[in-house]
Amino acid sequence: MEKNTKKLIFTILRIIAIITPFIWILSGVQGDLLIQALQKIRWWTIPLFLSIIITTMFLQGLRWWILLRAFSKKLSFLQSIAYHFSSLFYSLVLPNSTAQEVVRTVFVSKHAGAAVSWSAAWVCKITGLIVSFALSVYGLMTISGSGISKGIFNAAIGLFVVICILFGLSFSKKLTTPFRKTAQKLIPLKYLSKAENLREGIYQFRNKKLYLLTATLVTILAQLLVIISVSVVIKGITGSSYIIQCIAFIPLIEIISMAQPITPNGVGVREALIALMFNHLQLSSEQLSVYIIISNLAILMKLVGAIPVLYGMIFKPETKKNRLTKTSEIGSE
């Protein structure tokens, strides 16, 4: 009973977290001005935005496959992309992007092994964070004289440094040895051995510099496309791209909204943060509402992931038991 109560409370909190920002945003919207804002949308805005979004999704899957390919050739490119888009589909109901990555990694572990899969997931995640923070810091430095709080800038710098340190620790056995000795005293052996395998897998990426460099370049391209997609929508609505402001704010907004464990895909939280950005840009509530309507189409693009999911359900691969049964039947003939 207590478990069900906690689940109910958490569900209510999720609903509140999703709905509240939309109520706050729509409360300041005037109907006639909203219609005018909708009529001013450039014709190319939505098709260009959706094209960028699907390209970004593809690049994210490509980056993941490149890192897996560094140690395992068992997973084909098409299988990898299918698993990636399947995890995007499941992310429509999962609480955050980390849960999505867990699903994706579990899918591929049976092909590439747990150590390779989880180490690739870690490198993929940490590289993405470094690139995001680096872009955001550059943007904040560029617009530092336009009313940006020093607290925001210092927080971004601090987090960037922390992420870089974590990245460095990932590839150094010498620096992590003291933590390992402490962990041996606190963590049961069966869990510690799995952590050791993961640590070894991450460490081995030191010898795969070409794969790391290629994955990093793909990450930079994917992150830039995310920023450009927002800039495209804003330009389609307002006539101005605000590209530097998007570089400064969008990576931070994505990190915060996807990290919180309450709403699926950061819905609600992302809109609240975007509203703050629009307020800083001195754009109207009606323009914000139009932006949210268009940007939420990106969530629908994740329905593409239903294709490999349904394919897997309809055309299930033969199990080992079925293959053995068929073999025995042929032999008896």
Instruction: Round to whole Å and give the CA distance between 247 and 156.
Output: 13
Look up tokens 């872009």; give the residue: 135
16 pLDDT higher than 50: yes
Task: Write down how long the chain is.
Answer: 333
Percent of the chain with pLDDT over 70: 67
Side chain identity at 22, as an amino acid letter? F
The residue extents of the domains of the chain are: 45-314
Please give the average per-residue pLDDT across 140-168, as a whole number: 70
More confident site: 163 or 222: 222
Q: Among residues 318, 311, 263, 314, which one has the least CA distance to residue 81?
A: 311
DSSP structure class, residue 152: H
Confidence of residue 247 (pLDDT cuts 50, 70, 90): very high
pLDDT of 168-227, one tens digit each? 666 666 656 665 666 555 555 555 556 666 677 777 777 888 998 999 999 999 999 999
List CB contacts of 128: < 8 A, sequence separation 6 or more: 219, 223
pLDDT of 105-136, one tens digit each? 888 887 777 778 888 888 888 888 889 888 98
Instruction: Round to whole Å and give the CA distance between 22 and 70.
Output: 44
Q: Is 94 left (phi over 0), alpha (psi -120 to 50) or beta?
A: beta
Angle between helices 189-203 and 114-142 (to 10 degrees): 60
pLDDT of 19-72, one tens digit each? 666 666 666 677 788 888 888 899 999 999 999 999 999 999 999 899 888 887
Instruction: Round to whole Å and give the CA distance between 257 and 271.
Output: 9
| Helix (H/G/I), strand (E/B), else coil: 208 | coil
User: Do the beta carbons of residue 250 and residue 311 sit within 8 Å?
Assistant: no
Look up tokens 């997973």; give the residue: 75
User: Do the beta carbons of residue 302 and residue 91 sit within 8 Å?
Assistant: yes
* pLDDT value for 198: 67
Instruction: Round to whole Å and give the CA distance between 259 and 266.
Output: 8
279 pLDDT higher than 50: yes
327 pLDDT higher than 60: no
DSSP string, 268-298: THHHHHHHHHHHHTT--HHHHHHHHHHHTHH
Instruction: Round to whole Å and give the CA distance between 107 and 94.
Output: 15
